[in-house]
């Protein structure tokens, strides 16, 4: 789910702002660890990009674990996908309307529509679908996380 989310973010950025903006989402995420200077075009893209990938994957894994625990009692595709979408929506609301204004204001420059779509559908829905498929393949009573 984290990889699908990142791919959508990067594609949307390039589509909306031009090819030179392709890596801006990774710079923005990398700036969580490196500071706002990582957003500067003069800052090494490789450094900001690697930091962005590492931070993004750590957060995606952590959020996936949290969702897996919440979803442990779910049954059926609709329940997993529906709750995954709601979970993604909640992540968007908390990340962009609580955390970003306080700690990472550069995220407020991102399109709210793109962020809503990315978090709700390209992360949450995909996460719910992935856990449902894991559950289905495992044959266990709960999801395989």
Mind listing the pLDDT tens digit for each residue in 46-66?
A: 999 999 999 999 999 999 999
The model's pLDDT over 19-38, given as tens digits with 9 standing for 90+, comes to: 999 999 999 999 999 999 99
Going by pLDDT thresholds of 50, 70 and 90, the confidence category of residue 141 is low
Residues of the chain with pLDDT > 90, as a percent, come to: 88
Task: Determine the pLDDT at residue 52.
Answer: 98
Task: Determine the pLDDT at residue 143.
Answer: 47
Give yes or no for a contact between 61 and 2, defined as CB atoms under 8 angstroms apart. Answer: yes
């Amino acid at each position: 789910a984290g990889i699908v989310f990142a791919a959508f973010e990067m594609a949307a950025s390039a589509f909306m702002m031009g090819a030179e903006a392709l890596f801006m989402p990774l710079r923005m995420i990398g700036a969580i660890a490196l500071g706002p200077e990582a957003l500067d075009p003069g800052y090494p893209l490789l450094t900001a990009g690697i930091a962005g990938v590492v931070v993004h994957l750590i957060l995606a894994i952590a959020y996936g674990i949290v969702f897996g625990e919440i979803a442990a009692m779910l049954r059926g595709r609709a329940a997993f996908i529906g709750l995954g979408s709601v979970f993604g929506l909640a992540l968007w609301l908390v990340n962009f309307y609580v955390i970003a204004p306080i700690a990472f204001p550069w995220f407020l420059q991102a399109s709210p529509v793109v962020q809503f779509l990315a978090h709700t559908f390209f992360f949450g829905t995909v996460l719910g679908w992935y856990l449902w498929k894991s559950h289905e393949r495992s044959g266990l009573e709960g999801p395989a996380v």
